[in-house]
């Protein structure tokens, strides 16, 4: 991790700002989850336990949605788990960056969600990737659980986070994280193809599948490129290391 | 009790899924073909997350105030605005449009 000497590094501060703004926008959604949990017939304790133990937004909403709607345990667990499969992909992506050992693998795994992965993989250097992961992951874990409790206690009194445009804030955050990667032709092609595949699958597959299918687009491109120009693994000379743009 | 069983069951599976990703040996990930794929994965995942977060509600494709927020975010990014400005501009756009009655 970082030493005091580089705490003045502007890029580090940029990563912390990114992580915290994503964490705040996401955490406020915990209010919705808390309110919806109690409204779906869960106790305050149960609602908070879901955020503490399950800790994966989509899976949590799926679980209370199915159970609250009268579905069985099997269906609820299946819906929740299907949404969680992408976290396995995220771990695969992060394992060489974070290199968790021993007991550290437990918090590392638990913090592995869309947002912490997105902020981590968007950074250029290993220390910045790790910093992005932990600032975002710990920030959301703390914020999400506090806001779940607030939502469960206050019910719908606070109102819908959509009113404040927080869902659009999350969209913008993901786009801003993707943006610096769009300077080379190949990632642009992959991003467009992945977005297209995800979009067309949304209406016809269970929730959670589109993101996994989008990952398969990257797999296809990665394997296909060996038939293209000689050395696909060579770094792009136009891209200077450490240049965030 | 049913709810507790579902909560514990789903949580155990969720943790198992998260943990599994970290158990793949680094040697596998360092193979050229695998590393080519993992280099391209972020662009694919982030693009899919943008689509899911902006244009979907459950299993439906929708066009609402979020799309306008994303457009404003893209313009802000073109103008090289800082991350926080991009995010706040998108939120303000969506919130403003909803105030005017848009979904």
DSSP A177-234: HHGGGTTSHHHHHHHHHHHHHHHHHTTTS-TTHHHHHHHHHHHHHHHHGGGSSS-TTS
- Across the range A23-50, mean pLDDT stands at 91
Residue A241 pLDDT exceeds 50: no
- A168/B33 touch (CB, cutoff 8 Å), yes or no: no
Q: For residues B43 and A118, what is the distance between their CA atoms, to the nearest angstrom?
A: 10
Q: CA nearest B12 in A: which residue?
A: A54
The answer to whether A34 and A47 have CB atoms below 8 angstroms apart is yes
Is the pLDDT at A239 greater than 70, yes or no?
A: no
SS3 call for B31? coil
| β-pairing verdict for B60-61 and B56-57 | antiparallel
Q: Where does residue B51 rank: exposed (0-12), middle (13-18), buried (19+ CB within 10 A)? A: buried
Question: Which of A109-118, A189-198, A235-244 bottoms out in mean pLDDT, i.e. has the lowest?
Answer: A235-244
**pLDDT greater than 50 at residue A243:** no
Task: Look up the ipTM and state it.
Answer: 0.90
CB contact under 8 A, A171 and B45: no
pLDDT score, position B42: 83
Res A122 pLDDT > 60: yes
3-state secondary structure (DSSP) of residue A237: coil
Mean pLDDT, rounded, of chain A: 86
* A110 close to A142: Cβ distance less than 8 angstroms: no
Alpha-carbon distance A5 to nearest alpha carbon in chain B (angstroms):
24
Q: How confident is the model at residue A160 (pLDDT cuts 50, 70, 90)?
A: confident
Residues of chain B positioned with their CB less than 8 A from the CB of A49: 7, 11
CA distance A78 to A83: 9
Given a cut of 90, is residue B71 above it in pLDDT? Answer: yes
Instruction: For residue B5, give how far its alpha carbon lies from the nearest alpha carbon of chain A (Å).
Output: 8
pLDDT at A227 over 80: no
Give the pLDDT confidence score for residue A236 in this predicted structure: 44
How large is the average pLDDT for residues B10-31? Answer: 91
Looking at residue A4, its pLDDT comes to 52
Domain locations along chain A? 6-161, 182-228
- Please state the φ and ψ torsions of residue B7, each to the nearest 5 degrees: -65, -50
Chain A residue with minimal CA distance to B26?
A96
């Amino acid at each position: 991790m970082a030493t005091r000497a580089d705490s003045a590094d502007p890029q580090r501060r940029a990563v912390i700002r990114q992580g915290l703004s994503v964490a705040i926008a996401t955490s406020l959604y915990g209010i919705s989850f808390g309110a919806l949990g109690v409204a779906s017939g869960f106790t305050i304790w149960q609602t908070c336990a879901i955020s503490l133990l399950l800790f994966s937004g989509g899976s949590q909403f799926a679980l209370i949605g199915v159970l609250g709607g009268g579905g069985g345990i099997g269906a609820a667990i299946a819906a929740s788990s299907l949404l969680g499969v992408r976290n396995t992909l995220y771990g695969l992506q992060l394992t060489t960056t974070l290199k968790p050992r021993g007991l550290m693998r437990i918090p590392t795994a638990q913090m592995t969600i869309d947002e912490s992965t997105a902020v981590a993989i968007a950074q250029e250097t290993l220390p910045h990737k790790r910093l992005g992961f932990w600032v975002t992951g710990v920030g959301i874990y703390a914020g999400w659980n506090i806001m779940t409790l607030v939502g469960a206690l206050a019910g719908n009194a606070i109102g819908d986070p959509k009113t404040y445009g927080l869902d659009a804030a999350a969209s913008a955050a993901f786009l801003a994280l993707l943006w610096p990667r769009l300077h080379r032709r190949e990632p642009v092609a992959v991003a467009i193809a992945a977005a297209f595949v995800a979009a067309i699958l949304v209406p016809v597959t269970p929730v959670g599948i589109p993101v996994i299918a989008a990952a398969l687009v990257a797999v296809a491109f990665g394997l296909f490129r060996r038939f293209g120009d000689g050395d696909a693994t060579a770094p792009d000379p136009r891209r200077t290391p450490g240049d965030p743009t | 009790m049913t709810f507790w069983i579902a909560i514990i069951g789903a949580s155990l599976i969720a943790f198992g899924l998260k943990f599994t990703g970290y158990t793949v040996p680094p040697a596998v990930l360092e193979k050229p073909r695998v590393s080519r794929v993992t280099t391209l994965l972020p662009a694919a995942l982030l693009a899919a997350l943008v689509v899911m977060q902006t244009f979907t509600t459950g299993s439906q494709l929708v066009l609402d105030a979020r799309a306008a927020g994303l457009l404003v975010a893209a313009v802000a990014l073109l103008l090289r605005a800082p991350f926080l400005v991009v995010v706040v501009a998108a939120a303000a756009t969506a919130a403003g449009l909803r105030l005017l009655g848009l979904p």
